[in-house]
Amino acid sequence: MAVNCAICGAGSHERPVRVRSGKEMLLWHCAACRFDFFAHDPTGSLAANQLDESRLKAAGLDIPAVERDFENGTQQSRGYIAEYIDAADRGANVLEIGCSWGYFLKLVQAAGAKPYGVELNTVRAGYVNDKLGIACDPSLEACEARGIRFRKIFMFYVLEYVTDPVAYLQRLANMLAPGGALVLITPNLDDTLKDLWRNEAFGRFFHDEHAVNYMTAHAVDRMMARVTGVTPEVQTRQGYSFVNHVSWFLTNAPRTTGVVGGDNFVPGILAQLRGGSQTAAADERGAALASRLADLVAAFDGEYRRTIERERYGNQIRVVARK
C-alpha cells in the first residue's frame, strides 16, 4: 500500500535500501517534492538513547564519551552562535529542539539570552536539566504547555527525525514571538559525494534507520511554503571539505573530526603547512613554498565548496524563517 508524501500528500513509490546498521528497509519517494522518507516513527528509540548505536557504532565509529561529545559540540556551536545570535537576543527566550547535552544552550546562556531545550533522549535531557541547570522538556508538547514565545528557535540536524515535518514546523512557527526566527539545518538528499562522485560506500552509509526524512532543497522549498506566518530563506552549504571526499574515494570509509555535517581536515592541513613554514625559516625557499601551498589548499577548498553550493548540492540545507 502506497504511503502519501508528508509534504504534499501525493502518493509515492518505494524501493528497498540497506541502512547504515545493515537492516533492509523500504524507502518511499515523492517525485514531485524530490523527497525520500521512511514510514515508521523513530521516537521510541530516540528517547531510549539508541541513535548513536545506529548512527555511529554500526558504521565503525566510536561513540564519544560525554565530555568529548560536549567539547566537540561546543566547538561547533561557537560558529552557530557567531552566525545566529546577536546583541538583540540578550534577555530574550531562545529554544533549541534536539539540544543533546546542551552545549549550544550553554553558549546561548553565556551570550545573555534565556535558553530552553527540548530533547527526546531522556539521558541527555536529564543532563541538561540537572548538570547545566537549563530547562529542558522531553517533548514539544511539554514545551508548548509553558506558553512561552521565543525570539529564536533552532533545529540543528533534527528535522530528519520528525515524522510529520510540516505540522511540526507550523507548531514551532506558532511559538515564535513577533519578529522572531526559526533556524534549521538538515542534510541534503542531493549530495555531491553520493550523486556526483558516485561513492557506493557512502551511498550505503547515507541512510540511517532513525532518520526518516531525506530532503532536497526543492523539497524544503515546498515544505516551507506550507508553513504559515513565516518568510523562509533556503540555501545549501557545503560543510564537508574536498579532503573528506578524497578520503572516501581512497578508503570507502568514514573518518570523523567530531563535527556534525562537516570536518576540520583543511584547518589541520593549513596549520601543518604554516607551522612548517615557521620551522623552516632558515630555508627561505621551503618556508615560502609551504606558505604558497597552504594558500593553494585554502583557495581550492573554498572554490570547491562554493561551486557545489551554487547548484544547491551543499550537504547542509539551511533555513532561516522569520516571523
- Are residues 231 and 87 part of one domain? yes
Strand order in 93-97's β-sheet?
Answer: 136-137, 114-118, 93-97, 150-156, 176-187, 316-322, 231-237
- What percent of the chain stands above pLDDT 70? 94
Return the number of other C-beta atoms located less than 10 Å from residue 64's C-beta. 16
Are 117 and 218 contained in the same domain? yes
Q: What is the pLDDT of residue 301?
A: 98
Residues 162 and 124 in one domain: yes
Residue 18 lies in a domain: no
Answer yes or no: do 129 and 158 share one domain.
yes
Q: Which of 154-163, 252-261, 266-275 has the lowest mean pLDDT?
A: 252-261
State the pLDDT at residue 205: 87
Q: Above 80 in pLDDT, residue 293?
A: yes
Q: Residue 56: is its pLDDT beyond 60?
A: no
Owning domain of residue 168? 43-239+314-322
Mean pLDDT of 94-100: 97
Q: Do residues 177 and 157 share a domain?
A: yes
Q: Tell me how many domains the chain contains.
A: 2
Q: What is the mean pLDDT of residues 244-262?
A: 92
Say what the alpha-carbon torsion angle 283, 288, 294, 296 is, to the nearest 10 degrees: -140
Query: Does residue 70 fall inside a structural domain?
Result: yes
The answer to whether residue 37 is domain-embedded is: no
In a domain, 30, yes or no: no
CA distance 206 to 293: 33
Q: Are 183 and 84 in contact (CB under 8 A)?
A: yes
Statement: residue 233 has pLDDT above 60: yes
